Chain A
Amino acid sequence: MKAGKFPLLYPTASFAGLLFVLGAMWYAASSQNSPAVYLLLFALTAVFLVSIPHTLLNLADVTIAPESAKPAFAGQEVSLPVEIMNCSRATRRGIQLVVPGRGGKRKHVDCIPAGKAARVTLRFPAKQRGEHRIATLRLTSTYPLGFVRVLKKFGSSQTYLVYPKPSGDPRLPMHRARSPHSRPQTELAEGDDFAGVRAYVPGESQRHIDWRAVARGQPLMTKQFAAEAEGSVHLDFSALRFHGAEERLSQLALWVIEAERVRRPYSLRLPNTEIAPAVGEAHFHRCLRALSLFPGKEGA
């Protein structure tokens, strides 16, 4: 990943404390004409000065490689795994990684040995649906003494998707089923027949997580049940009676999740796209992606 030309260097808050101490020492030394206090003053000054190149070089030959961020629903957290690589021949310590302007916490990496890499996961809130670009990532460090901070900017073309926030009526729209092959349905009952598990998608209800599998140390999986009702469900943007596009998208997102959970084939129809009925993880993400990229009030 491409780094900015020069690392920036600026004083931290504890530099103010240092200035106060140095001022006090200088005042005491000069008013007492005391060589011992001068020695202390110069020792502290010199250690501070020498720490500057140490801090500055603490990020030399350290680069980052962001991996692709998993999509998340609006209102939740995006997690962006980033690999911090130390290409130098020295151990680098006390490094922090932050995505500016996203309100996430900075991530600390205590130590990366020479020639090794560390993997951290940045988490920041997903605010708006759409495709977002991570313009810059920042590595900072105040090691060893914390009086100055070095900052290295990395330009990035990495993007991540934020799906619309699922909300609305969880009942699937039966009466709108227009498939010629589907039987008329009065209600979509949750099926009792266990049909298998699939990977948990952040944002879905936690009711169906296979907690026993989690207890065994396996990743989060959602249990799926075959609904009694067969046939596909049509999710149509224009058929919804809400006013706002965002509300409709939220409702559609919820239905996509619900339909996927009960493993019922579903099709999606937006003014600009149409996705044929299907079921499965790829289809699920394809639909949500279409919802997320729907033109309109969309995050940059």
Chain B
Amino acid sequence: MSNSRNSRRTQQWRDTTIPRRPLLWLAAALLFTLPALLGTLASWVPFLFLFALVLKFWMEPRGYRLRSTSLKLILMALTLGAIFLSYNTLKGIEPAVSLLTVLVSLKILEAHTAREFQVMVTMAWVLCLCGFLLSQDLAIAFCLFVAFALLIAALVQFHRGSSPGAFWLPLATTLKLVAQAAPVVVLLFLLFPRINTGFQFRIGDLHAAMTGFSDRLSPGGIEMLANSSDIAFRAEFPDRRTRPAGPMYWRGLVMWHCEGLEWRAPYAPASISDSSRQYPASDKAIRQRITIAPHGARWMFALDRPFGIPSGAMLARGNYLYSVQPIRKSRRYEVLSSTDPIGKELGARERREALQLPASISPAVRELAGSLAARNSGPRATVASALQFFRTQGFRYSLSPGEYNKNDLDEFLFRRRTGFCEHYAASFATLMRLAGIPARVVVGYLGGEYNDLGGFFLVRQADTHAWCEVWIPENGWTRIDPTTAVAPDRASLDLSSFLAGRIASGEMATGRTAFVTQLARLPLVNQIRLIWEALNYQWDTRVLAFDADVQDVLLTSLGLTNSGPFPLVMQVLIVVSALLIIYAGWMQLQTRPRADRIQALYERYCQKLARIGVQRDPWEGPSDFAKRAAQSLPNASECVRQITETYIALRYAPGPTAISLDKFAKEIDAVTAHR
């Protein structure tokens, strides 16, 4: 008795009905949504998620599942509390995504019916959506699209039924569906109007993840970026696909305010009035098309020095591009630059600003600056002797020069003499100001890696560089890069190759292991990296940059915007339906049974007999039918026998038969005569 009750209870526990295979596909899809969410989830949530997946695959064959309502409620309350403890709030996108992931985890443990499988798939789509909202990096997008395909495969597998079959079959169907869907996606993506709902929600702290330099050049600030492989921007040269002669200095922003080793850019830079701008000869202009990665600040990059202004930006004092809006998403613009020095005269206010100095300069530094200026007469000679000072006094270029404070100018110039580009630029500009030469610091990027496939230069955060500009009356603002005095190769190579060279010659220690460095220099790895970067570029420029504004430009150029969005929606829908009808027709043609002449002739014969009065039943074999027909039509019995024999020979004989189809046709034509 108790035994039977026990077994009934066990039976009750064991009633999972979701077949294992669709669940496997679904689990794989959920795993692929995880990378996109990792940065946002509370640290314990991914572990819970993975634990739930593993537990499900342990429970499922044994037939266990989470079924007690009170246990579910307790778990729900516990996880909700844990999320609150992790974030100190339940509002905002991060707790929401964590909560959703937790819900999915609990659902995995609970689900057992077909409907719950559908609910899980729906939740997985929403996780994909969250992933795309949180990160639009190509690698993440790739993972999410894999998850998308796996979800479709899970659905296909689910609706196929539970019979055993090839494992790749749902995948093949998925690929077919995706391939057929691709033209529809392109059409919808390009033409379907992006109607703005006007209701925005901000996804919190997006710019926390953004990297880039700040408006303050402090010792150690650029060093931190030197190991970052994040992309700063990509540049194409649409007119000449070759790189311009000489090293590429990408101008970022100009710093005027000196505090010794630390420099600062104005908080709200004044724009250069249109009349005071000078345009160089147009044949010397270099056109660039730049796709900038979001960095949260407002400066934009262009080859030294820009003079054409892209829309939504201004040219700030100091000849650098300054965006009207903070750059929070990928943006593409065209800009013209000229390598000629610009500036014919220095205004009184600018001169004052370019000579500003902090009070805390030590007498030793003042003495050094005085000696640099006194020995020579002109500013050019002063500059040259200062560079000579850096070159000959045992200064070293290093990624890890140790810590400096902003007042450590003495420490750097007289004692340690080890620094990174920012130390050289800051100290050089300070020395120039002390020597009476107007000077400023420019922060931007140097170099960039050319990608053959994409035909663009990729500039990373690691390429961040700082240099100086000094005012030389007959020439205007002139670029001086004091780092080249110490490390002459730096300007002609990008930083990573420069460092690689240093590491190879044993001059520098590195954080990376030798193996990784070796691996990164293999031609195959390098090739793969270049392809990946080219793909990244296409993703950024063709997909991520194609927002509502760009679409508007495209639609206008196609002449489709005149009539408003709704006729356009109708047109798109008509084209899509036409495409679907074509697909349906094509598939129908592919799968329709082949017209079979023997069968067609035999059916004609059956129709003839039916007219005479003998109807063939659908389940009746030809011989049975012939017997019956011969009985009820004794006159035609010979003919019926003959035709049936021929038919069977034609249709079922193993080898090719000698009987011609025409003879068969004639026999059938003769049927009415025997009536």
Contacts and interface: CB of A to CB of B under 8 A. Distances in A.
Interface string B516-548: 000000000000000000000000000111111
B201 A30 contact: no
Size class of A's contact patch?
A: 35 or more
A252 B271 CA distance: 109
B491 interface: no
Size class of B's contact patch?
A: 35 or more
Contacts of A109: 161
Interface in B102-161: 115, 118-119, 121-122, 125-126, 128-129, 132-133, 136, 141, 144-145, 148, 152, 155-156, 158-161
Contact of B161 (A25, A29, A94, A145): A94
A52 B580 contact: yes
Interface string B538-565: 0000011111100000000000000000
B170 to A, nearest CB: 8
Contacts of A36: 132, 136, 141, 543-544
B133 to A, nearest CB: 6
Interface in A27-48: 27-40, 42-47
A20 interface: yes
Contacts of B546: 35
B201 A42 contact: no
B177 A47 contact: yes
Interface in B574-594: 576, 580-581, 583-584, 587-588, 590-594
B162 interface: yes
Contacts of A60: 588, 591-592
B588 A31 contact: no
Nearest to B179: A50
Nearest to A21: B125
B610 interface: no
Interface stretch (A84-92, A165-173, A184-192, A243-251): A84-92
Nearest to B137: A36
Contacts, number: 174
A244 to B, nearest CB: 39
A30 B177 contact: no
Interface in B587-609: 587-588, 590-594
Contacts of B583: 50, 53
B122 A21 contact: yes
Contact of B185 (A43, A143, A145): A43
B197 A21 contact: no
Contact of A49 (B144, B199, B576): B576
Contact of B580 (A20, A34, A40, A53): A53
Given A39-B189, A146-B155, A110 B160 contact: yes
Contacts of B194: 29-30, 33, 38
A65 interface: yes
A31 B587 contact: no
Contact of A145 (B159, B195, B544, B619): B159
B159 A94 contact: yes
A108 interface: yes
A44 B594 contact: no
B623 interface: no
A133 interface: no
A281 interface: no
A25 B155 CA distance: 19
Contacts of A144: 155-156, 159-160, 173, 177
B201 A31 contact: yes
A136 interface: no
A42 B548 contact: no
B462 to A, nearest CB: 26
B192 A111 contact: no
B544 A50 contact: no
A143 B160 contact: yes
Contact of B618 (A1, A42, A108): A1
A121 interface: no
A25 to B, nearest CB: 5
Contacts of A31: 196-201
B155 A34 contact: no
B75 interface: no
A32 to B, nearest CB: 7
Contacts of A57: 584, 587-588, 591
B178 interface: yes
A34 B159 contact: no
A56 interface: yes
B665 interface: no
Nearest to A35: B546
A54 interface: yes
A44 B581 CA distance: 19
Contact of A65 (B119, B594, B618): B618
Given A87-B593, A111-B163, A37 B133 contact: yes
B188 A42 contact: yes
B547 A24 contact: no
Contact of B162 (A25, A52, A53, A110): A110
A61 interface: yes
Given A31-B200, A111-B161, A89 B592 contact: yes
A49 B128 contact: no
A142 B118 CA distance: 13
Given A21-B126, A36-B132, A30 B592 contact: no
Contacts of B200: 31-32
Contact of B181 (A49, A61, A108, A143): A49
Q: Which 6 residue pairs across A and B have the least CB separation, nearest first?
A: A110-B161, A46-B184, A53-B584, A110-B163, A46-B181, A90-B591
27 contacts: A1-B618, A17-B119, A18-B122, A25-B129, A28-B129, A29-B194, A31-B200, A32-B200, A33-B547, A34-B133, A35-B544, A37-B132, A42-B184, A46-B188, A52-B580, A53-B584, A57-B588, A60-B591, A61-B591, A65-B619, A89-B591, A93-B160, A144-B156, A144-B160, A145-B152, A145-B177, A146-B155
Given A35-B546, A44-B125, A145-B155, 8 more contacts: A21-B126, A34-B136, A35-B189, A37-B133, A57-B584, A60-B592, A94-B159, A144-B155
Interface of A: 1, 13-14, 17-18, 20-21, 24-25, 27-40, 42-47, 49-54, 56-57, 60-61, 65, 67, 87-90, 93-94, 108-111, 114-115, 142-146
